Amino acid sequence: MASNASNIVFDDIFTIEDIDKEGKKFDRVSRLYARSKNYDMHLTLDYNVELFPLQKDQSFALALASSLVKGGAPAGAGGEDEEKDKDVWRPDGKGKRGLEEDYDYVMYGKVYKFDGGTAEMVTVYASFGGLLMSLYGSFRHMTSMVLGDPVYLLMRK
């Protein structure tokens, strides 16, 4: 799991169990169903197949982050420049390299629903401009995700 000093709120390695099991609805978008290796999480995700082609039984790393700034905010820091750069989409604009440099596919969206289900298991739903994600598993691995918060989804093979 991610540390407190990082902007990454969730990360794991997933293996694709199925793609478009209800049939393909759009030309450039597919829906994958995957299971994580470390935390036994279930992921359903819409993604652009032209930008990031994936196959069944393939593994990929997925991270969810609150910001693309690497390392999070330094402890005790808080100046005017940091406040101004807090929500910068491309932090490399001033020579900084962000988390997006380490991944192949990045989407920006918002957590729009948090379903409690049972006491232990929860589902987090996020929308990335109409491409949807649901992440189901133990609430312990998703404590840093907050309803209404912006989220970056980062993937690499």
Supply the CATH number for residue 119's domain: 2.40.50.140
**Under 8 Å between Cβ of 24 and 17:** no
Provide the domain count of the chain: 1
For the ranges 16-25, 44-53, 94-103, 135-144, the one whose mean pLDDT is highest: 44-53
User: Domain containing 24: what range?
Assistant: 8-71+97-156
* pLDDT recorded at residue 144: 85
Comparing 142 with 31, which gets the higher pLDDT? 31
In a domain, 1, yes or no: no
Is it the case that residue 19 has pLDDT exceeding 90? yes
Q: How far is residue 48's CA from residue 53's CA, in Å, rounded to a whole number?
A: 8
In a domain, 28, yes or no: yes
In a domain, 84, yes or no: no
Reported confidence tier of residue 76, pLDDT bands at 50, 70, 90:
very low
In a domain, 59, yes or no: yes
Mean pLDDT of the chain: 84
In sequence order, the 6+-apart residues with CB closer than 8 A to the CB of 71 are: 5, 6, 7
In a domain, 63, yes or no: yes
Tell me the per-residue pLDDT of 31-52, one tens digit each, with 9 for 90 and over: 999 999 999 999 999 999 999 9
Lowest average pLDDT, out of 6-15, 62-71, 115-124, 126-135, goes to 115-124
In a domain, 118, yes or no: yes
* pLDDT recorded at residue 81: 53
In a domain, 120, yes or no: yes
Q: How far is residue 19's CA from residue 139's CA, in Å, rounded to a whole number?
A: 26
pTM given for the model: 0.81
Reported confidence tier of residue 94, pLDDT bands at 50, 70, 90:
low
In sequence order, the 6+-apart residues with CB closer than 8 A to the CB of 102 are: 154, 156
Q: How far is residue 55's CA from residue 57's CA, in Å, rounded to a whole number?
A: 6
In a domain, 3, yes or no: no
Q: Which of 106, 109, 68, 110 is nearest to 87 (CA)?
A: 68
